[in-house]
Structure 1
Amino acid sequence: MTKRTSAKYKIDRRMGENIWGRAKSPLNKREYGPGQHGQRRKGKLSDFGTQLRAKQKLKGYYGDLTEKQFRRIYGEAERVKGDTGENLVGLLERRLDAVIYRAKFVPTVFAARQFVNHGHVTVNGKRVNIASYRVKEGDVIAIREKSRQLALVIEASQSGERDVPDYLEVDHGKMTATFVRTPGLSDVPYPVVMEPNLVVEFYAKN
């Protein structure tokens, strides 16, 4: 299990954006970065800085993946035919923890990772406890029956904070989700602008 090494909302403040679009983000109260130098005026970012920030933002959005994990996913995206940036987003959205989050079974992507690791989820009827498990089109993801009454599941499914994207078919009554298709960048409901093309540029040069 990957450990989160920094407080999750510090990512928001470091980026200067509410990257999950959550009402609880401290950015809603303090629009400057964390730490004693957070309020200093920021200089213009170089091309490298802009690309690095795009990578950190996309990587952080999916639960602050380690660089090794993210680089491996990028390598796979590069090998697949088509646009590497689009492929990268598609692979990230096929992670089981991302699907659980998108289906509104849990409130955050961090909770999704823990939820999967604790064995609350099945894929096509078989229990899967690996958050990075990659779902395929047509896979049916379900919350185990004994886990459906957990408070965080009920609260998340009833939340109006975000919508379920159309590449998932979700039944909150049965607590099931079918992964219909692999999304492209324009299909994914990011609350902020993600720029996978800059991530591609970053890895191409570094």
Structure 2
Amino acid sequence: MTKRTAAKHKIDRRMGENIWGRPKSPLNKREYGPGQHGQRRKQKLSDFGTQLRAKQKLKGYYGDLTEKQFRKIYGEAERVKGDTGEMLIGLLERRLDAVVYRAKLVPTVFAARQFVNHGHVLVNGKAVNIASYRVKEGDIIEVRQKSKQLAIIAEAIALTERDVPDYLEVDNTKLTVKFVRTPGLGDVPYPVQMEPNLVVEFYAKN
């Protein structure tokens, strides 16, 4: 098992949910938590526990971001006029690795980060190798010419477990993606319920 696969499975088990909707998730076979006490009856979470869990789940979904990275993004969302939870989702979905993942150029968000870091992606014709790079509406993201034959791309495009959301326009022939608009929570095809409002409550109290 690769380190990235182990990380995905560990997060699923910790959250008690198949947060990416992957068919190979261990949660498809056993729904109890990890460790020798995992099958014990789950205790009701406190408000703090519920809010913390919502934050960990959202943070984990985007490749298990560090607390420092996630807190910085939340701080930006908080400073923008409007609903902080919606702004947070919009900022997370504008990350370049998230766009690459959503466009089905790679099979997982972990692979998306590596794909960007290894220099396989252009934004508006310029090479960008920073996974956290924030795309803007109208930006064109494409796979670099010499990377278009990578097997991982064909594997990802063939996946049936998820669809490309309508805030992206994808050309699978040219391997280009247009970031049409910044999505809100209701636009993002999460396989499980995300609750950014609870993330806002967590940071408001802690």
TM-score range for the pair, normalised by the shorter chain length: over 0.9
Equivalent position SS for 2:45: coil
Coordinate RMSD, CA, aligned: 1.1
Query: How is 1:151-190 mapped onto 2 (pairs within 5 angstroms)?
Result: 151-190=151-190
- Give, in whole Å, the separation in 2 of the partners of 1:47 and 1:140: 42
Which residue of structure 1 aligns with residue 147 of structure 2?
147
Which residue of structure 2 aligns with residue 94 of structure 1?
94
Which residue of structure 2 aligns with residue 194 of structure 1?
194
% identical equivalent positions: 85
- Give, in whole Å, the separation in 1 of the partners of 2:110 and 2:192: 18
Query: How is 1:15-164 mapped onto 2 (pairs within 5 angstroms)?
Result: 15-164=15-164
Q: Match of 2:77, as an amino acid?
A: A
CA contact (8 A) 1:137 1:182 kept: yes
TM-score by length of 1: 0.96
- Give, in whole Å, the separation in 2 of the partners of 1:66 and 1:40: 29
Encode CA deviations 1:26-74: one digit per residue, 9 max, x unaligned: 1111111111221111110000000000000000000000000000000
- Give, in whole Å, the separation in 2 of the partners of 1:46 and 1:205: 14
Equivalent position SS for 1:42: coil
- Give, in whole Å, the separation in 2 of the partners of 1:177 and 1:96: 11
Equivalent position SS for 1:7: helix
Aligned length: 203
- Give, in whole Å, the separation in 1 of the partners of 2:186 and 2:148: 31
CA contact (8 A) 1:16 1:27 kept: yes
Q: CA deviation at 1:7?
A: 1.9
Deviates more, 1:11-20 or 1:125-134: 11-20
Q: Could you list the structure 1 runs, at least 4 aligned residues long, displaced by more than 4 angstroms after superposition.
A: none
CA contact (8 A) 1:55 1:196 kept: yes
Q: Match of 1:157, as an amino acid?
A: I
TM-score by length of 2: 0.96
Q: Match of 1:89, as an amino acid?
A: I
CA contact (8 A) 1:169 1:180 kept: yes
- Give, in whole Å, the separation in 1 of the partners of 2:139 and 2:93: 13
Q: Match of 2:183, as an amino acid?
A: P
